[in-house]
Amino acid sequence: MNAKPNLLSGMQPSASSLHLGNYLGALVNWVNMQENFNAYYVIVDLHAITVPQDPAELRTNTRRTAAQYIAAGIDPAKSALFVQSHVPAHAELAWILNCITGFGEASRMTQFKDKSQKAGSDSASVGLFTYPILQAADILLYQPKAVPVGEDQRQHLELTRDLAERFNSRFGKTFTIPEAHIMKETAKIYDLQNPTAKMSKSAADPKGLVNIMDDDTTISKKIKSAVTDTEGSIKLDWENKPGVSNLLSIHSSLSGESIVSLEERFEGAGYGVLKGEVADVVISAIGPIRDRANELMSDQAELDRLLARGAEKAKVVANQTLAAVYDRVGFIKPE
Ligand code: ATP
Ligand code: LTN
C-alpha cells in the first residue's frame, strides 16, 4: 500500500537542548525527508548510557529531545518517532550482530578510539566499544534504503553495510543494504565565540552556541557578542572573516535570502546592524519551535502517548526482521 522507501536515523538524548547546528545540519533535512520516505526516527537512549548518565537527567533529556523534534516539524502521524529502549528488538539484534563482528573490525572504529581516549581506557565501557554494532542493529531492523547522517558517521555506516552483507551471504538474504545519505556541508554552523570550530554541545564556552531552548533575550545576547573581526566589511570570506561568514550563513540558511543579496543589502553597514538582523531572524525561526517544545513538555502524558504510538509502529517492522534473523541463525521458536 505504501510504496515509499524506508528511512531511518537516530539521535542521542544526551543534552537538554539541541543547538542551531543540529537544527540546520540535521533536523531540517529530517523534516523534509519525511515527505518522500517512510521515516523512522529513533531517540537512542541505549546508546546514551555508553557513557555515564544521571538517570533523572536522561529521563528529562529523552522527553525534551522528542519534544524538540516534534516542535521542529517531525510529524508523528507521518513518521515513527520512538525511543530505542521501547523496542527490545534493537538490543536483541545487536547481540546477534556482535557475534558476527570481528574484534579487530570493531577496534578500528575511530569514534571509539576518540571517545575512549577522552574517558581513559579503564573507564571506557564495553558498551562504548560495541556502540557501532548497536547502531547497525538500529538501522538494519527497518530495511531502510537511506540513512541521513553527518560525515562523522560514515565509518559506522560502512560497518553496517559490511555486517548486512556478511549476514546475507552466510544465512540468506535478510537485510537491505542501506545507503548513507551524508548531509551536505553548506549548513555547517560554527561556534559564535570560536568561529573556526563547529558549533558543538561539548564546546568549552556556552556563549558560543545558540540552543533551540534558549529564550529570546539569551539568543539576542549570544549573537550580539559573536566574535567578528576588525575589518568592518560584511562579506563571505571563510578564511579571513570566519565570524562574519558564519553570521551570513546562519541568516541565509534560516531566511532563505541569498548570501549575495545579503552582502549587497549590508554594504557599508556596521557589524551591529548585521548582528541585530541575524538575532531577529534566529528568534523568529527558533522561538516558535522552543515555545511548542515547552508546550509539549508541559503535557507529559500526551508526549508519552505519542512516543508509545511511535514504538508500536516501529515494532511491526522491527519484530518482523528480528523473527527472520532468529529463524535463519537456527533459533527454535518458543511454543
Ligand atoms: P557533540 O558536541 O557531542 O559532538 P554535536 O553537537 O556535534 O555533539 P551530534 O549529536 O554529534 O551533535 O550530531 C547530531 C547531528 O547534528 C549530526 O547529524 C551532525 O552532523 C549535526 N551537527 C552537529 N553539529 C553541527 C554543526 N555545527 N553544523 C551542522 N550540523 C551539525
Ligand atoms: N551515532 C549517531 C546516532 C545514531 C544513529 C543510529 C544515526 C544511533 N543509531 C542509527 C543513524 C542511524 C550519532 O552519534 N549521530
Q: Residue 181: in which H helix or E strand, if any? A: strand 179-182
Q: Quick one: three-class SS letters along 52-72?
A: CCCHHHHHHHHHHHHHHHHHC
Ligand 1 nearest atom to the CA of residue 19, by list position: 6
C-alpha cell at 51: 557513557
Kindly identify the ligand whose nearest atom is closest to the C-alpha of 41.
2
Residue 11 Cα to ligand 2 midpoint, Å, equals: 6
Nearest to residue 63, comparing CAs of 89, 82, 88?
Answer: 82
Is 14's C-beta closer than 6 angstroms to any atom of ligand 2? no
Residue 3 Cα to ligand 2 midpoint, Å, equals: 25
C-alpha cell at 105: 573490525
Question: Which pLDDT score is estimated for 2?
Answer: 61
DSSP state of 23: I
Question: Which pLDDT score is estimated for 118?
Answer: 81
CA-to-CA dists, residue 47 to 36, 81, 130, 131, angstroms = 28, 16, 10, 7
| Protein residue closest via CA to atom 13 of ligand 1 | 22
Kindly identify the ligand whose nearest atom is closest to the C-alpha of 44.
2
Other CB atoms within a 10 A radius of the CB of residue 207 amount to 17
Question: Which pLDDT score is estimated for 77?
Answer: 95
Dihedral sign for Cα atoms in the order 119, 122, 127, 133: positive
**Active-site residues: which are they?**
115, 198, 201
Question: Which pLDDT score is estimated for 193?
Answer: 97
Nearest to residue 9, comparing CAs of 36, 43, 32, 35?
Answer: 43
Residue 247 Cα to ligand 2 midpoint, Å, equals: 28
Residue 18 Cα to ligand 1 midpoint, Å, equals: 9
Give 76-99 pLDDT, tens digit per residue: 999 999 999 999 999 999 999 999
pLDDT in single tens digits along all 335 residues of the chain: 568 999 999 999 989 999 999 999 889 999 999 999 999 999 999 999 999 999 999 999 999 999 999 999 999 999 999 999 999 999 999 999 999 999 999 999 998 988 888 877 778 999 999 999 999 999 999 999 999 988 889 999 999 999 999 999 999 999 999 998 887 655 689 999 999 999 998 887 899 999 999 999 999 999 999 999 999 999 999 999 999 999 999 999 999 999 999 999 999 999 999 999 999 999 999 999 999 999 999 999 999 999 999 999 999 999 999 999 999 999 999 98
Is 12's C-beta closer than 6 angstroms to any atom of ligand 1? yes
